[in-house]
Amino acid sequence: MKIKSQLSQIITQALQSANIETTDAIVISDATKPEFGDYQFNGIMKLAKILKKNPREIATTVLEHIDTTGMIDRVEVAGPGFINIWLDNEWLAKASTSILDDDRVGVGYVETPQKVVIDYSGPNMAKQMHVGHLRSSIIGDTLATLLEFLGDEVIRQNHIGDWGTQFGMLIAYLEEQGTDTASQNLKDLEQFYKDAKVRFDESEDFANKAREYVVKIQQGDAHCLKLWKQFIDTSLGHCEEVYEKLGVNLNREDVRAESFYNDALSNIISTLKEQNISTTSDGAECVFLEGSDVPLIIQKGDGGYLYATTDLAALKFRAKELEADRICYVVDARQGGHFKQVFAISKMAGMVGEEVNLEHIAFGTMMDKSGKPFKTRDGGTVKLIDLLDEAVVRAKATIKEREGHEEAELEKVAKAIGIGAVKYADLSISRESNYLFSWDKMLSFDGNTALYMQYAYARIQSIFRKHNGEINGEIIIGDALEHRLSLMLLKFEDTLTKASIEATPHTITSYLYDLVTLFMKFYEQNPILKEGVEEEIKMSRLQLALLTANVIKKGLDILGIEVVDKI
RNA sequence: GCACUCGUAGCUCAGCUGGAUAGAGCACCCGCCUUCUAAGCGGGCGGUCUCAGGUUCGAAUCCUGACGGGUGUACCA
Tell me the C-alpha to C-alpha distance, in Å, between residue A564 and each of A420, A423, A549, A557. Answer: 11, 16, 11, 12
Q: Are residues A201 and A244 in the same domain?
A: yes
Is there contact between A430 and strand B, defined as CB under 7 Å from any strand atom?
yes
Find residue A363's DSSP bridge partners: A332
Whether residue A326 is contained in a domain is answered as yes
Q: Are residues A148 and A272 in the same domain?
A: yes
CB A301 within 8 A of CB A345: no
Task: Indicate the angle between helix axes A535-558 and A134-149, nearest 10 degrees.
Answer: 130
Q: Which has the higher per-residue pLDDT, A441 or A94? A: A94
Each residue of A412-424: pLDDT tens digit? 999 999 999 999 9
Q: State which residue has its Cα closest to the C1' atom of B25.
A: A447
Q: Are residues A221 and A270 in the same domain?
A: no
Å from A60 (CA) to B55 (C1')? 29
Each residue of A175-192: pLDDT tens digit? 988 877 767 777 888 889
Is there contact between A24 and strand B, defined as CB under 7 Å from any strand atom?
no
Whether residue A524 is contained in a domain is answered as no
Å from A201 (CA) to B74 (C1')? 28
Identify nearest nucleotide to residue A166 by CA to C1′ distance: B76
Å from A5 (CA) to B55 (C1')? 31
pLDDT band of residue A288 (cuts 50, 70, 90) is very high
Q: Are residues A234 and A286 in the same domain?
A: no
Whether residue A216 is contained in a domain is answered as yes
Q: What is the pLDDT of residue A180?
A: 73
Whether residue A509 is contained in a domain is answered as no
Number of domains in chain A: 3
Report the greatest alpha carbon distance in chain A: 89
Q: Are residues A283 and A332 in the same domain?
A: yes
Q: Are residues A192 and A213 in the same domain?
A: yes
- Residues 482-511 of chain A within 7 A of strand B, judged by CB, are 504, 506-507, 510
CB A477 within 8 A of CB A96: no
Instruction: Give the whole-angstrom CA distance, residue A491 versus residue A484.
Output: 10
A473: number of Cβ within 10 Å: 15
Structural domain boundaries enclosing A270 = 115-123+133-161+266-363
Å from A223 (CA) to B41 (C1')? 68
pLDDT band of residue A232 (cuts 50, 70, 90) is very high
Q: What is the pLDDT of residue A316?
A: 98
Q: Are residues A71 and A157 in the same domain?
A: no
CB A483 within 8 A of CB A477: yes
Instruction: Give the whole-angstrom CA distance, residue A132 versus residue A134.
Output: 6
User: For chain A, what is the mean pLDDT?
Assistant: 93
Over 90: is that where the pLDDT of A287 sits? yes
Å from A400 (CA) to B61 (C1')? 46
Q: What is the pLDDT of residue A182?
A: 67
Q: What is the pLDDT of residue A187?
A: 80
Look at residues A232, A254, A276 and tell me which one is the last residue of a structural domain. Answer: A254
Helix (H, G, I), strand (E, B) or coil at A110: coil
Å from A566 (CA) to B36 (C1')? 14
Identify nearest nucleotide to residue A362 by CA to C1′ distance: B5
Cα angle, residue A414 at apex, residues A409 and A416 outer, rounded to 5° = 100
Domain of A41, CATH number, reads: 3.30.1360.70
Look at residues A363, A392, A420 and tell me which one is the last residue of a structural domain. Answer: A363
Reading across the β-sheet that carries A279-281, which strands appear in turn? A279-281, A284-287, A296-299
Each residue of A101-125: pLDDT tens digit? 999 999 999 999 999 999 999 999 9
CB A562 within 8 A of CB A420: yes
Share of chain A above pLDDT 90, in %: 81
Our CA dihedral for A326, A330, A333, A337, rounded to 10 degrees, sits at -40
Whether residue A546 is contained in a domain is answered as no
- Residues 323-342 of chain A within 7 A of strand B, judged by CB, are 333-338
The answer to whether the Cα torsion of A444, A331, A496, A115 is positive or negative is: negative
Instruction: Give the whole-angstrom CA distance, residue A422 versus residue A92.
Output: 35
Å from A53 (CA) to B18 (C1')? 20
One-letter amino acid at A391 equals A
Q: Are residues A147 and A182 in the same domain?
A: no
Over 90: is that where the pLDDT of A387 sits? yes
Instruction: Give the whole-angstrom CA distance, residue A191 versus residue A189.
Output: 5
**Per-residue DSSP letter, A261:** G
Section A242-258 average pLDDT:
97
pLDDT band of residue A443 (cuts 50, 70, 90) is confident
Look at residues A221, A254, A287 and tell me which one is the last residue of a structural domain. Answer: A254
CB A173 within 8 A of CB A196: yes
Q: Are residues A302 and A340 in the same domain?
A: yes
The closest of A454, A470, A514 to A489, measured between CA atoms, is: A514
Is there contact between A393 and strand B, defined as CB under 7 Å from any strand atom?
no
Is there contact between A5 and strand B, defined as CB under 7 Å from any strand atom?
no
Whether residue A15 is contained in a domain is answered as yes
Is there contact between A524 and strand B, defined as CB under 7 Å from any strand atom?
yes
Q: Are residues A243 and A270 in the same domain?
A: no
Q: Are residues A273 and A212 in the same domain?
A: no
Start-end of H helices in A275-406: 307-316, 336-348, 384-399
Helix (H, G, I), strand (E, B) or coil at A29: strand
Whether residue A450 is contained in a domain is answered as no
Whether residue A529 is contained in a domain is answered as no
Å from A244 (CA) to B74 (C1')? 40
Going along A319-382, which residue ranges are E strands?
326-332, 357-363, 366-367
pLDDT band of residue A9 (cuts 50, 70, 90) is very high
Each residue of A142-172: pLDDT tens digit? 999 999 999 999 999 999 999 988 899 999 9
Each residue of A509-565: pLDDT tens digit? 999 999 999 999 999 999 999 988 999 999 999 999 999 999 999 999 999 999 999
Q: Are residues A150 and A290 in the same domain?
A: yes
